[in-house]
Amino acid sequence: MISFDQQTLNDLEFPIIQSWLKNYALQKTAQKRLEELVPSNDFVKVKIELTKLDEFVSIKREGEFFPALDFEEIDKEIKFLAIQNSVLELEGFVKIKIASERINSMLVFFDKREIEYPNLINILTKVNLTTEIIDAINHIFTPKGLIKDEASQLLFEIRTKITALKNQINRNFEKEKRKLLKDGLLADTHETFLNERRVLTLLSTHKRKITGSILGSSKTGSLTYIEPQVNVPLNNELESLQDDERKEIFRILQQLTKFLSDYLLLIKEYQYILTEFDFIQAKSKLALELDACLPGIEEETQIEFIQAYHPILWRNKRSESFDKLKGISTNVKKNIIPQNIKLDKFSRMLVISGPNAGGKSITLKTIGLLQLMLQAGLMVPVQQNSKMCFFQNILTDIGDNQSIENELSTYSYRLKRMKYFLDVVNKKTLVLLDEFGTGSDPVLGGALAEVFFEELYNKKCFGVITTHYGNIKLKADRLRNAINGCMLFNTETLEPLYRFSIGQPGSSFTFEVAQMNGIPLELIEEAKTKIDSHEVNMDQLLSELQREKTYLEQLNKDHIEAQEIADKARRDYLEKKKMIDQKLLQHADFMEKNSLFINNGKKLKTYIDRFQTKSRKKDANQALIDEIKKYLTIEKSKIESKNLTEKLKQDIKKPKKIKAGLPVIDQHQQDKIKVGSTVKLIETKQNGTIEEIQGNQLTVAFGFLRMKVERERLSFVK
């Protein structure tokens, strides 16, 4: 397998990415891995790393609460646990406990999420949720990391005695101090500690007036430090108890260490998992800061960048924008323009031309650095529907690489580099050449560059080349699987646009750039007379083509925007028309109902007006009541007929269903059906009368409703 050489990494400034990643890591193991992170052509391994990173970034972007990674590495503790009868330091137990807690939190987080995060869960396959380690350490230590009194019965008894003894010593000391203060024998400081013992501070002239053990004196000899006699045996006993306490603590910690050594394999897994997640989260921080994503990874060799940013420029720009939001002054002058670039088997050699300081080198470096990052297992700042692949090798020749040590000029260095390229390139190689062919006589160097270009093309590698040579541009136009591209230039303002356009070569805008930089016009015109008129005409033609292309692109952009505006207006109109039509239907339905209510109301009012209340005849209103009953019967019949009509319409619209157990149609009975026959609709059991027969279509009257029905859907009644 071909490795990525250091010159390529340096040319594309990959070490800057490494330094960022190192600063994002929390612990030394991940920091070292990130510092040494380089692109790989182990495609399977890189894909796994990318999917793990993609899963972790999705957790962060979706705002899920992932367990904290605030831990300290336990590699030192692992070494001690492997040694028989060893004892860990106090902080070592706390570190192991925190590690166990962090792993348990991760296991809880990933529980039942195998489908969402399979690759991250795979990191945790060798551990299970366990509290034995945590419980054992909690039994010995307080939350602040101190040894509990209850860690053992003996320790509890020793500490109980120590506490009682200290209290007795302090009572004796206070009693003696009050007595000496009263006698005026103490110095101004009264007391101090010496050799971890509380002692009285006396004027040396009075040291023989009290009994006790003299433990020392001041440098001048004016003060004497005396331990009261009553406390001498008590302090000796205290020292003995404290020694017993130390021995018991050592025994307890040794026993706990032995217990933890049984879990050595599990604790090693803790170290691996935590450092692995530290490594992944560092890469995720960079992805989030760059607003990067994982593009589509294609098996076929191709690159399709959509809205691709140079990572270093993009991060600096985003940082400056963030500083601006916080009110910090910045020196941002230029916008970072994203580029759209495509390379595939039909256009695998891209020649980029255009003015100096127009962005050719940045575009080339963007392609190279994004490819290095992807093959190092990192996300890249492109749109998600971009496509990338893996190359076995990426080779660069960028910038001035003179070698004083080897006495090589820039051109000599480039020739040696080119010889190396021609020896190693293949179909899975990406070659990046900046200012191709420069460093020698323009004519001779251009001819040699053209030969190199053809040779690289014939080896079927992928490549991106920046150049000012016309013969290279012409060669790219003639070769089937090569393509020209250019950096756009505003010929009116004489400023580069920093936008890449594919499909045609670009002018170097030599004279325009000179004019932009203040060179007098008479000198520029004089220079034009010094060169072949064909060269001037060719450069002018390229300038005019680019100007026209820019104009057409702007027209196309304006047309697209206008079309989008028109489409949006049309959609808005149709939505509003639909809403208005619905409201009109609702209004018409409302008016129809209101009209019905009004007519019914008027009719009932006439009945009310005709109703006789003062007549003494018993049957004075009988005719009116009969009329009302008749009216109500007719109205109810209309409603029932309307409901029946709607039901029949719905039933007939339903798809035919063949029901199991349905009786076989009697053809003899079917033949009896003629105009005037009474028939039954099989689906609804509704009777009707045949009014007309046209082949298999029969017109049937179901009350007020007439409709055409197929013969097989009817059965003869009479």
Residue 493 has pLDDT above 70, yes or no: no
Residue with the larger pLDDT of the pair 437 and 105: 105
Q: How confident is the model at residue 472 (pLDDT cuts 50, 70, 90)?
A: confident
Residue 403 has pLDDT above 50, yes or no: no
Give the C-alpha separation, 56 to 219, whole Å.
66
Q: How confident is the model at residue 102 (pLDDT cuts 50, 70, 90)?
A: very high
Residue 405 has pLDDT above 70, yes or no: no
Residue 406 has pLDDT above 60, yes or no: no
Give the C-alpha separation, 456 to 450, whole Å.
10
Q: How confident is the model at residue 2 (pLDDT cuts 50, 70, 90)?
A: very low
Q: How confident is the model at residue 327 (pLDDT cuts 50, 70, 90)?
A: very low
Residue with the larger pLDDT of the pair 221 and 482: 482
Residue with the larger pLDDT of the pair 191 and 383: 383
Averaged pLDDT for residues 234-260? 93
Residue 492 has pLDDT above 90, yes or no: no
* Residue 117: partners with Cβ closer than 8 Å, 6 or more residues away: 55, 59, 110
Confidence (pLDDT) at 554? 66
Give the C-alpha separation, 562 to 92, whole Å.
69
Q: How confident is the model at residue 325 (pLDDT cuts 50, 70, 90)?
A: very low
Residues 669-709 pLDDT 10s: 777 788 888 888 877 777 888 888 888 888 888 766 677 88
Residue 578 has pLDDT above 80, yes or no: yes
Residue with the larger pLDDT of the pair 102 and 600: 102
Residue with the larger pLDDT of the pair 298 and 503: 298
Confidence (pLDDT) at 697? 83
Which of 21-30, 167-176, 253-262, 376-385 comes out lowest in average pLDDT?
167-176
Domains defined along the chain, listed by start: 6-147+259-292 (1.10.1420), 154-245 (1.10.1420), 344-381+391-530 (3.40.50.300), 623-655+663-716 (2.30.30)
Q: Report CA 392 to chain centroid distance, whole Å.
A: 27
Q: How confident is the model at residue 531 (pLDDT cuts 50, 70, 90)?
A: low
Q: For the purposes of burial, counting CB atoms within 10 Å of the CB of 285, is it exposed (0-12), middle (13-18) or buried (19 or more)?
A: middle
Averaged pLDDT for residues 243-249? 94
CB contact burial 652-672 (16+ within 10 A = b; e otherwise): beeeeeeeeeeeeeeeeeeee
Confidence (pLDDT) at 333? 46
How does DSSP classify residue 222?
Answer: S
Give the C-alpha separation, 497 to 490, whole Å.
6
Residue (of 472, 428, 430, 432) closest to 454 by Cα position = 472
**Is residue 507 within 8 Å of residue 546, measured between CB atoms?**
yes
Averaged pLDDT for residues 150-169? 92
Residue 256 has pLDDT above 60, yes or no: yes
**Joined tokens for residue 12:** 């594309």
**Is residue 505 within 8 Å of residue 467, measured between CB atoms?**
no
Give the C-alpha separation, 11 to 41, whole Å.
19
**Joined tokens for residue 466:** 């920046």
Averaged pLDDT for residues 128-141? 94
Residue 138 has pLDDT above 90, yes or no: yes
Residues 423-433 pLDDT 10s: 999 999 999 99
Which of 323-327, 481-485, 631-635 comes out lowest in average pLDDT?
323-327
Confidence (pLDDT) at 662? 44
Q: For the purposes of burial, counting CB atoms within 10 Å of the CB of 677, is it exposed (0-12), middle (13-18) or buried (19 or more)?
A: middle
Residue with the larger pLDDT of the pair 301 and 182: 301
Residue with the larger pLDDT of the pair 659 and 302: 302
Which of 32-41, 310-319, 475-484, 549-558 comes out lowest in average pLDDT?
549-558
Give the C-alpha separation, 276 to 347, whole Å.
40
**Is residue 394 within 8 Å of residue 430, measured between CB atoms?**
yes
**Is residue 313 within 8 Å of residue 336, measured between CB atoms?**
yes
Q: Where are the beta strands (DSSP E) in 245-390?
A: 296-297, 303-308, 339-343, 349-353, 387-388
**Is residue 428 within 8 Å of residue 449, measured between CB atoms?**
no
Residue 122 has pLDDT above 80, yes or no: yes
Averaged pLDDT for residues 436-454? 75
CA dihedral 380, 382, 385, 389 (to 10 degrees): -50
Biggest distance spanned by C-alpha atoms of the chain: 149
DSSP letters of 149-162?
Answer: GGG-HHHHHHHHHH
Residue (of 28, 700, 53, 636) closest to 374 by Cα position = 53
Confidence (pLDDT) at 180? 72
Averaged pLDDT for residues 552-572? 80
Phi and psi at residue 72, to the nearest 5°: -115, 140
Which of 278-287, 407-416, 463-472 comes out lowest in average pLDDT?
407-416
Confidence (pLDDT) at 226? 77
How does DSSP classify residue 230?
Answer: G
Averaged pLDDT for residues 617-640? 78
Residues 28-83 pLDDT 10s: 999 999 999 999 999 999 999 999 999 999 999 998 899 988 899 999 999 999 99
Residues 581-604 pLDDT 10s: 888 888 887 887 788 788 888 878
Share of the chain above pLDDT 70, in %: 79
Edge-to-edge order in the sheet of strand 678-681: 705-710, 697-702, 686-694, 678-681, 714-716
Element (DSSP H or E) covering residue 191: strand 186-194
Confidence (pLDDT) at 486? 83
Q: Report CA 220 to chain centroid distance, whole Å.
A: 72
Residue (of 391, 389, 408) closest to 400 by Cα position = 408
Confidence (pLDDT) at 499? 77
Confidence (pLDDT) at 631? 79
Q: What is the mean pLDDT of the chain?
A: 82
Confidence (pLDDT) at 407? 43
Q: What is the pTM of this model?
A: 0.68
Confidence (pLDDT) at 320? 63
Confidence (pLDDT) at 462? 96
